[in-house]
Amino acid sequence: MQVAVFPADCSEAVAEAVALAGAEVHRVDDLVTTELGEMSLLVLELGDEPMRRLRQLEPVVDDVGLPVLVVADRASLPLIERAKGVTDFVLEPLDPVELGVRLRRHATSNETEEILRFKDLELNPLTYQATLGGAPIDLTYMEYELLRFLVENPGRVWSRQQLLSKVWGYDYYGGARTVDVHIRRVRAKLGEERASWITTVRSVGYRFG
């Protein structure tokens, strides 16, 4: 398993954790000029420049074609949530075991993993790309995760608290309002004709399909 780590001067904790996971570490100086075709995954350490690091990822995210695992502190979660191209994240202080598990899970993903489809909507779980009628949809990480969860679980009504737990995780610091905001954004990106795919069930939550 070959793993690219950016930036090249990442912390030793990150480099050691990647190596302990059984991966060959390739430190990357420049995402634009480096050929990543042989890599299994890209680890992006945000460090004390989270906004700058995520901006460096943006221009190449469609070309990289790799799962992107971000290492960041909890204060950077709002930035990660809005970032394009982030597959997963690990919070600091870094747990080498957790990072190793996530590395192996994403790096060994089957490249022929089935595309998720609902009518003319397609979600690619490997590349985190979404298309609607063949046209790409620009979804943030959490918008994609929310839509993916709904597509994978159609017909059932999910409460806001259930969605927070299933999509954001048990320790997410936000509240039910977070779910409403993201549902509204996803509906807007689906467009007026398809927004009705996500139904509001009064006093309960939401249903897809």
- For the chain of 209 residues, list the mean pLDDT of each consecutive stretch of 10: 91 90 89 82 92 86 78 91 86 88 72 77 85 92 91 92 81 74 96 95 93
Q: Give the span between the Cα atoms of 141 and 81, in whole angstroms.
A: 5
- In 3D space, the residue among 161, 137, 155, 169 whose CA is nearest the CA of residue 207 turns out to be 155
Q: What pLDDT score was predicted for residue 112?
A: 46
At how many degrees (to 10) do helices 141-152 and 176-190 cross? 80
Q: What pLDDT score was predicted for residue 158?
A: 94
**Portions of the chain given CATH number 1.10.10.10:** 116-208
What would the two tokens of residue 17 be? Answer: 């954790």
Is 116-208 a CATH 3.10.620.30 domain?
Answer: no
Q: Give the span between the Cα atoms of 149 and 70, in whole angstroms.
A: 21
Is 2-107 a CATH 3.40.50.2300 domain?
Answer: yes
**Portions of the chain given CATH number 3.40.50.2300:** 2-107
Contacts of residue 166, Cβ cutoff 8 Å, sequence gap at least 6:
149, 158
Contacts of residue 74, Cβ cutoff 8 Å, sequence gap at least 6:
91, 92, 173
- In 3D space, the residue among 153, 187, 155, 185 whose CA is nearest the CA of residue 167 turns out to be 153
Q: What pLDDT score was predicted for residue 171?
A: 54
Q: Give the span between the Cα atoms of 119 and 198, in whole angstroms.
A: 13
Q: What pLDDT score was predicted for residue 111?
A: 47
Quote the pTM value.
0.59
